[in-house]
Amino acid sequence: MLTVAQAARRLQVSPGLVYSLVAERKLAHVRIGRGRGLIRIPEEAIQEYLARQQVPAGERKLPPALPKLKHLRL
């Protein structure tokens, strides 16, 4: 299991982002100890997170249509 700092290095992001992903429950983790405890991230959680973040090649999404603003005249 990885510490937050080790997971951040593995993902090439800041430890703050890893803490955010943990808080939002987007990155599986284990808390060890009482209270807030120590956060440990299994290797498999890193792989699962990266797999969920992949965008298939060739898939193109159009941006959402902008709302019409009545108070502005173009």
The 10s digit of each residue's pLDDT in 15-58 is 999 999 999 999 999 999 988 889 999 999 999 999 999 887 77
pTM above 0.75, yes or no: no
Please answer whether residues 67 and 73 qualify as being in contact, where contact means their C-beta atoms are separated by less than 8 angstroms.
no
| Residue 40 C-alpha from the chain's centroid | 16
More confident residue, 74 or 22: 22
Beta-carbon-side half-sphere exposure of residue 52 (alpha carbons within 13 Å): 9
Domain ranges of the chain: 4-53
CA dist 74 and 65 (Å) reads: 17
